[in-house]
Structure 1
Amino acid sequence: MPPSLQHVVHACASALSAAGAGFAMTRGGGVWEPLFSSGPAATELDELQFTLGEGPSAEAVTSGAPILEPDLSGTGADRRWPVFAAGATERGIGAAFAFPVGFGAAQVGVLTVYRHERGALPAELLQDALVYADALLVLTLDHRSGIVTDADQLIEATFSARRAKVHQAVGVVAAQLAVSITDAFARLRAHAYSSGQSLQTVAADVMAGRLRLEADTKETGSQHAELEQEDDS
């Protein structure tokens, strides 16, 4: 069976004795989107980062450099990503390592590895992670070789579908509350985090009319918002 992006992510998690690993696709302007993961734990952590807009994956995309955090319970991680670090620690994750997938300006994604154990990656495991990041790059870009002929189409379809749903929901909330797109997006993210749901689920509820943000919203911070969940009936 030919290798695939999904295979590489699973192999990376296994080789690094990780709690999980995830691959997110990037677009211009620091936009990124979870795409593949090795299992439910990594999926949840990737979605948590995407919902919050903070974490090692987001920072790796912005900086273009590996982000190696050996202790998510430490003060350094708490200052960099206060909400994500607390959420990951609550889920039993001690360390997280994010590696940009790309070469020079050709950045296509980010590979993030989550480990239960606190501590830096040993040198040999760090080298392994970089090899897996390179493998993801090759499989994403080299569609001429026939290794993964549908990789580009799959990535584009997944990315577009997820982004379209969220953008549509943001537009609905912005129109309902007469607020900016930025404020509407912040409120969706706040509700997703406070309710323990993914941003995709919240967006789907908004579009289906099951969720409506109250006009009179009282916020105590960027992560708090009052929303009205309408009955399914």
Structure 2
Amino acid sequence: MSDRLAFGAAVEELSMAFERRTSLCRPFLRVLPVTGAAISTLGPPFGTETVCASDADAARIDELQFDLGEGPCWDAMTTRRPVLTADLRTASPRWPLFREALGTSQVGSLFAFPLSLGSLNIGAVDLYSRTVGTLTDAQVEDATTLSGICARQVIRRTLADLPSHGVVDGEAGDGFSRREVHQATGMVLAQLGVTAADALLIINGFAFARGRSVREVAADIVARRIDFAGEWSDPSESPPESL
């Protein structure tokens, strides 16, 4: 299978991961020259936890960063840029506690990509390799694209686990509230140039992140008290940070 066909298959697999309840990590491993992957949420409102890990070493890399509060995943989320560490052992003296805690672990290179959607910071994707080396520009672009799809999947899984998911303000039969949400969805779609599904997902995630109902957020969007165009930032537009 050619590289582009393999990437297309990975995109399709990741895009359907919520419906099929399949691994979020596996598509990254299909197309990138890495040993393992871990996907995590970092801090409020989604909590700090490993959503998916391809192996025990990937899970440990995540766990150490959680415990120590430092590491490439935190930097990727904070800066909204990929963090590329070609040789973890000889990199600049960043994350001293994290690097010391890794000890003799077989981690040669480590790459972190932010998970974000609109103004929401969700977490990060950690990719590690037992060998030293970096990613090509094309591979960074592919990983960034997959991370954007993954961010949507993580939010969908989080919202699906909420008891009130799919109910607007507890009033599913309120026709006005549904029309307002549809109108707000159309406005977000126009502001950001995203699909209708992504626009609704952004509204739901924004409401969840702020402890508000979808109807309240929709009303603010329609009244132009919330304008996502002013908050939108695409992490793929920023160059990766290489160490």
User: Taking structure 2 as the reference length, what is the TM-score of the superposition?
Assistant: 0.53
Residues 73 and 123 of structure 2 are in contact (CA less than 8 Å); yes or no, is this contact kept in structure 1? no
Residue deviations 1:29-69 (CA, integer Å, cap 9, x gap): 99733221112111111111111221101222222222111
Whichever residue aligns with residue 102 of structure 1, its letter is: S
Match of 1:101 in 2: 115
Residue deviations 1:125-153 (CA, integer Å, cap 9, x gap): 21221121011122234x4xxxxxx5424
Residues 24 and 52 of structure 2 are in contact (CA less than 8 Å); yes or no, is this contact kept in structure 1? no
* Whole-Å separation in 2 of the counterparts to 1:30 and 1:74: 33
Q: Does 1:21 align with 2:51?
A: no
Match of 2:105 in 1: 91
Q: Does 1:113 align with 2:113?
A: no
Which of 145, 152, 157 is matched with 2:159 structurally? 152
State the Cα distance separating 1:80 from its structure 2 match. Answer: 0.8
* Whole-Å separation in 2 of the counterparts to 1:26 and 1:127: 23
Structure 2 unaligned residues grouped into runs of 5+: 1-12, 164-243
The CA RMSD measured in Å over matched residues stands at: 2.8
Bigger relative contact order (CA 8 A; separation at least 6): 2
Residues 46 and 158 of structure 2 are in contact (CA less than 8 Å); yes or no, is this contact kept in structure 1? no
> Post-superposition, which runs of at least 4 consecutive aligned residues in structure 1 deviate over 3 A?
27-32, 86-89, 153-156
Match of 1:133 in 2: 147
Q: How many residues align?
A: 147
Match of 1:3 in 2: 17
Residue deviations 1:166-192 (CA, integer Å, cap 9, x gap): xxxxxxxxxxxxxxxxxxxxxxxxxxx
3-state SS of the aligned residue for 1:113? Answer: strand
3-state SS of the aligned residue for 1:73? Answer: coil
* Whole-Å separation in 2 of the counterparts to 1:133 and 1:95: 18
* Whole-Å separation in 2 of the counterparts to 1:81 and 1:38: 23
Residues 19 and 41 of structure 1 are in contact (CA less than 8 Å); yes or no, is this contact kept in structure 2? no
Q: Does 1:34 align with 2:50?
A: yes
* Whole-Å separation in 1 of the counterparts to 2:152 and 2:63: 25
Whichever residue aligns with residue 84 of structure 2, its letter is: L
1:155 to 1:115, Cα distance in 2 relative to 1, 3 A:
farther
1:108 to 1:40, Cα distance in 2 relative to 1, 3 A:
same
Which of 12, 18, 28 is matched with 2:28 structurally? 12
State the Cα distance separating 1:121 from its structure 2 match. Answer: 0.7
Match of 1:59 in 2: 75
Percent of paired sites with the same residue: 26
Residues 83 and 111 of structure 2 are in contact (CA less than 8 Å); yes or no, is this contact kept in structure 1? yes
Structure 1 unaligned residues grouped into runs of 5+: 144-149, 157-233
Residues 24 and 34 of structure 1 are in contact (CA less than 8 Å); yes or no, is this contact kept in structure 2? yes
3-state SS of the aligned residue for 1:125? Answer: helix
Structure 1 range deviating more: 56-65 or 81-90: 81-90
